[in-house]
Amino acid sequence: MAKKAETVSMIDTFKDFKDSQSIDRTTLVSVMEESFRSVIAKIFGSDENYDVIVNPDKGDLEIRRNREVVPDGEVTDPNLQISLSEARANYGEDYEVGEDVTDEVDFSKFGRRAILNLRQTLSSKILELQKDAIYNRYIDKVGTIVSAEVYQVWKREMLLLDEDGNELLLPKQEQIPTDFYRKGETARAVVARVENKNNNPKIILSRTSPLFLQRLFEIEVPEINDGLITIRKIARIPGERAKIAVESYDDRIDPVGACVGVKGSRIHGIVRELRNENIDVINYTSNTSLFIQRALSPAHVSSIRLNEEEHKAEVYLKPDEVSLAIGKGGMNIKLACMLTDYTIDVFRELDGDGVEDEDIYLDEFRDEIDDWVIDAFKEMGIETAKTALNAPRDMIIKKTDLEEETVDYVLDVLRKEFEED
């Protein structure tokens, strides 16, 4: 009885799994049959003469064995054959040689080893089904936001559990630098990717992906969700600052105003979720020059020169606007480059003269400045003296990879030339 109870218990367990994981009836029946047949084949060498009938709704099954009736004394395999006298004695006097006898088999009578074998087989197949179910569930959720409970926080990653207890991973590099969670708290993130090496699904989440920011806007701004406003480009430095370009298909809708909300009501929730990440929302335009100017806000651009083939832009601003264009730590210009896909160089505009004043090519200074230094300036697009003097010193040092003393010497030589004039 104990062994039979074990079998029934396993079926009940499988039925519970089917209910919780929404395994379809066909798959359930197939796995149950395959598991029992696998054990029967190991015991008898073949399962071809067995019928396994599974009833998942009731949580029970029947195992029927079919054997051929042979003359007395000619039974060579008792699993496949039954003697005529035994068939008539146990199943009816009407049986004749050559007919089939079908009897119901109590699986528990196969012995404890068979029971354990069945349990291992079922467990293995159930685990495979669970992994397949998790993979299929989350592969369709890539790019969507999920909420999960923080279960464990490690140095390199964080383990979360969804409502069904499935494990989700949030790597350190996918966390906002100022993120801080305790066990039991709820975290929101976007499903970045689903890996499935060796049938072992791994769900990777992200809070630093631009897609996370996009999904948050879709949740907070109904016009985006309804398709009246489209997010065209996003650039992020997670936890610090982001720029997002939006476009409206309805002239009556101000896309920037709709995204920000009255007194910032819509964007405040997003900013809090992103740990006070500053978000600039700008109007998208297909006019590259205008788009670059908008991307550099809050700075006001005086003029701009484009090289569309090389995706480069020279932007000229008044001296007091240069620091705004570059931003703290170069963050503003970096985001503008990311948003527009252009390399942007910022230059100071000379008061009154503009950028078209009389200038001198750097090649004229080769008697005072080494050739390789001049070449380094020219490689970053600086061909003339005034262009060099109008360019931010820090930008020159970074892009030419020259020593500060060398750059200062060059600028001093150029500056003295104009002072003499």
192 and 215 together in one domain? no
8 and 110 together in one domain? yes
CATH number of domain containing 184: 2.40.50.140
**Residue 316, domain member (yes or no):** no
193 and 214 together in one domain? no
30 and 129 together in one domain? yes
Encoded tokens for 398: 């970074």
CATH number of domain containing 241: 3.30.300.20
121 and 9 together in one domain? yes
99 and 10 together in one domain? yes
pLDDT given at position 16: 52
**Residue 350, domain member (yes or no):** no
> Which of 113, 136, 159 is the last residue in one of the domains?
136
pLDDT given at position 1: 47
25 and 121 together in one domain? yes
CATH number of domain containing 72: 3.30.1480
132 and 159 together in one domain? no
95 and 40 together in one domain? yes
276 and 203 together in one domain? no
Domain that holds residue 271: 209-284
6 and 127 together in one domain? yes
**Residue 156, domain member (yes or no):** yes
**Residue 37, domain member (yes or no):** yes
> Which of 85, 102, 136 is the last residue in one of the domains?
136
pTM of the model: 0.69
**Residue 238, domain member (yes or no):** yes
> Which of 106, 136, 166 is the last residue in one of the domains?
136
51 and 84 together in one domain? yes
CATH number of domain containing 409: 1.10.150.20
Domain count of the fold of the chain: 4
**Residue 335, domain member (yes or no):** no
Per residue of the chain (421 residues), give pLDDT as tens. 444 455 455 555 555 555 545 566 677 778 778 888 888 888 888 888 888 887 766 667 788 889 999 999 899 988 889 999 998 988 888 889 999 998 888 777 777 777 787 778 777 877 888 788 889 999 999 999 999 999 999 999 999 999 988 999 999 999 999 999 999 999 999 999 999 988 889 999 999 999 999 999 999 999 999 999 999 999 999 999 999 999 998 889 999 999 999 999 999 999 999 999 999 999 999 999 999 999 999 999 988 989 899 899 999 988 888 888 988 888 999 999 999 999 998 888 765 444 445 678 888 898 899 999 999 888 877 888 888 888 888 888 888 889 999 999 999 999 888 775 5
**Residue 38, domain member (yes or no):** yes
**Residue 386, domain member (yes or no):** yes
